[in-house]
Structure 1
Amino acid sequence: MYPVTTLILAINLIVFLADLLLDGRLTIEGVFYQHPDFSKYGLFEPWRYVTSIVLHAGWDHLLFNCFSILVFAPPLERLVGHFRYFILYLLAGIAGNALSAIVHAGSVYLSVGASGAIYGIFGAFLYLAVFRKADLDEGSRKTIYSMLIFGLIYSLILPNINIWAHVGGAIAGLAIMGIWVKTNLAKKLQMHNQNS
């Protein structure tokens, strides 16, 4: 069972459907929105770093992100545990929004979607693929490399893609996994490999 992954998928779908019923009011209230004149518009609203993670711009955006979560999140949730996985997902999403805010400082900017959090999953697996090769088989490592290359190309060629959320999320996921591996999670990974 993957309760956190299931919960994230359910929240994404419920929020999207509710937003449709409310004519986009949830998006207006929760979108990650930045304006150069924060004091005039009163737009420093920190909850948007989180709420924008569960909002999506359309069915295609929602389905693509949910598919990515469905494919890549369960192995990570199983590997690191439910709570750690939730923390990584949330912090990666916030980090993606934070990097976007830094890069787009001084400009009007909108962003929604779970991509930063999803790239946090990729970043966590990238850490394992590069620094803990014994924890992933060769096929899994190749899949991670392929997904990151595909994601980078996808981010560069398609319009309206928040590449900085992807980069920020991936860096956060890689860093968080690195911290965990350097601490007591390394023992859990060794036990997981022995039981596999």
Structure 2
Amino acid sequence: MIFIRYENWKSYLRYYPVTVLLLIANLVMFIITSFDGGSRNYVTLLKYGAASDLPQVSGELWRLFTAMFLHNGFDHLLFNSFALLVFAPPLERIMGSWKYVLLYLASGVLGNAIGLAYYTRQLDHYTFLVGASGAIYGVYGAYLYIALFQRHVMDEASRKMLYTLLIIGVVFSFAPGISMAGHIGGLIGGFFIYGLMIRLFKTRTSDMP
């Protein structure tokens, strides 16, 4: 089962350096926003890079990137950090750190872009998007590709766990205040980005030990 963490903290740092850096970045930005107006304050979130369709920031595409590292309250941070801490690390071992972070960031940007485009059309008020969820769902999308097309990499128990996570995640995405479009966009993005990357780089995917 690849989704059960057996490592001590020293091994975790050594095996998953990018995941640790992503967790630290999320935590640092949460602390900064908490002490500068509050992590639920839309003015503060906008100041530090939330994605939005507000006219004064709608053309600032860099926000699709920075929004990944902001969270709307401690519960939002906790949920995403748990997913990143527990479920993302095996992909860093499978892909290698630099390809893993490229997929994570690209999925997050794509998820935010799709979410912002969708809600701008659907809602009659302005949209603010923050959170690592799109990127994390991109990781899930990569796992889905592995489960379907690289079955030697993932054991049967892990495949069942993945399918359960995806079902719960998709259902949860329809809850109020959740960016369903961002989640689905990140998931689809991760699936296709992973498939593209293994063809572009033409390296053998590493099996999990």
Check whether TM > 0.5.
Answer: yes
Give the Å deviation of 1:42. Answer: 5.0
User: Which residue, out of 49, 53, 73, partners 1:34?
Assistant: 53
Q: Match for residue 8 of structure 2?
A: none
CA deviations over 1:89-148 (Å, ceiling 9, x no partner): 100000001111221234521111000000000000000001111211001111111110
What secondary structure does 1:188 align onto? coil
In structure 1, distance between residues paired with 2:200 and 2:59: 35
What is the root-mean-square deviation in Å for CA atoms of aligned residues? 1.6
- Higher helix fraction: Structure 1 or Structure 2? 1
| Residues 1:97 and 2:115 are matched in the alignment | no
| Aligned counterparts, 1:2-21, within 5 A | 2-21=16-35
In structure 2, distance between residues paired with 1:175 and 1:66: 24
Give the Å deviation of 1:181. Answer: 2.8
Q: Match for residue 135 of structure 1?
A: 153
Q: Match for residue 51 of structure 1?
A: 66
Give the Å deviation of 1:26. Answer: 4.5
| Residues 1:66 and 2:81 are matched in the alignment | yes
* Unmatched segments (≥5 aa) in structure 1: none
| Residues 1:188 and 2:204 are matched in the alignment | yes
Q: Match for residue 117 of structure 1?
A: 135
What secondary structure does 1:44 align onto? coil
Q: Match for residue 178 of structure 1?
A: 195
In structure 2, distance between residues paired with 1:19 and 1:59: 11
Using the size of structure 2 for normalisation, the TM-score is 0.84
Q: Match for residue 126 of structure 1?
A: 144
What secondary structure does 2:52 align onto? strand
Pair 63,42 (structure 1): closer, same or farther in 2 beyond 3 Å: closer
Conserved? CA contact 2:116–2:129, under 8 Å = no
In structure 2, distance between residues paired with 1:55 and 1:103: 20
Using the size of structure 1 for normalisation, the TM-score is 0.89
Displacement over 4 Å in runs of 4+ = none
User: Which residue, out of 169, 176, 180, partners 1:151?
Assistant: 169
Give the Å deviation of 1:54. Answer: 0.4
Pair 127,23 (structure 1): closer, same or farther in 2 beyond 3 Å: same
Conserved? CA contact 2:51–2:116, under 8 Å = no
Give the Å deviation of 1:183. Answer: 4.2
Give the Å deviation of 1:43. Answer: 3.0
In structure 1, distance between residues paired with 2:119 and 2:158: 34
Question: How many correspondences in the alignment?
Answer: 187
| Residues 1:161 and 2:178 are matched in the alignment | yes
Pair 43,124 (structure 1): closer, same or farther in 2 beyond 3 Å: same
